[in-house]
């Protein structure tokens, strides 16, 4: 039976860490250039007014989704009774392959280049695995 007990401190730490890891992943430090080139937005220097207005909602959506991921990982990892990092990492990888990867593959019809799928799923794999392991050892 799944345990729906959520520990607040790990929830907040994982959510905030996920939000900032995502920010770094898509920054100039890592994958901004190839990701933006694949999307056709590289070299664009200014946002349109509608893009500027949408930004707070996009940031809020990213922050909320980080909390949902953190909550879901706790439910799955703790519900399976995993208490070590390697087990949590494995649960995270299985969750990524089952949910995030399959969902991403279903978006290929949108015409995005495969490099976008690879960059996005690199982040998803890292976060699901790393945070699954963290949640397993931090109750």
Does some domain include residue 2? no
pLDDT digits (tens, 9 = 90+) for 23-70: 999 999 999 999 999 988 887 778 889 989 999 999 999 999 999 999
Cα 138–chain centre separation: 19
Does some domain include residue 44? no
pLDDT digits (tens, 9 = 90+) for 72-96: 999 999 999 999 999 999 999 999 9
Query: In sequence order, what DSSP letters do the residues of 10-65 get, joined into one string?
Result: HHHHHHHHHHHHHHHHTSTTTTHHHHHHHHT-TT--S--HHHHHHHHHHHHHHHHH
Full domain range(s) for residue 12: 8-39+49-137
Does some domain include residue 105? yes
Distance CA 131, CA 135 (A): 6
Does some domain include residue 3? no
**Predicted pLDDT of residue 1:** 67
21, pLDDT greater than 70: yes
**Predicted pLDDT of residue 118:** 95
Domain total of the chain: 1
3, pLDDT greater than 80: no
**Own/partner pairs, 103-112, CB within 8 angstroms, 24+ separation:** 112/38, 112/39
**Predicted pLDDT of residue 110:** 87
């Amino acid at each position: 039976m799944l345990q729906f007990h959520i520990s607040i401190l790990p929830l907040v730490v994982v959510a905030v860490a996920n939000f900032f890891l995502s920010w770094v992943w898509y920054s100039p430090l890592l994958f901004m250039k190839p990701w933006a080139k694949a999307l056709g937005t590289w070299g664009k220097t200014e946002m349109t007014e509608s893009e500027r207005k949408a930004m707070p909602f996009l940031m809020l959506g990213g922050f909320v989704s980080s909390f949902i991921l953190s909550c879901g990982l706790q439910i799955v990892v703790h519900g399976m009774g995993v208490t070590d990092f390697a087990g949590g990492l494995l649960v995270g990888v299985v969750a990524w392959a089952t949910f995030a990867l399959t969902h991403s593959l279903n978006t290929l019809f949108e015409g995005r280049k495969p490099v976008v799928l690879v960059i996005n799923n690199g982040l998803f794999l890292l976060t699901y695995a790393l945070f699954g392991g963290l949640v397993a050892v931090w109750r």
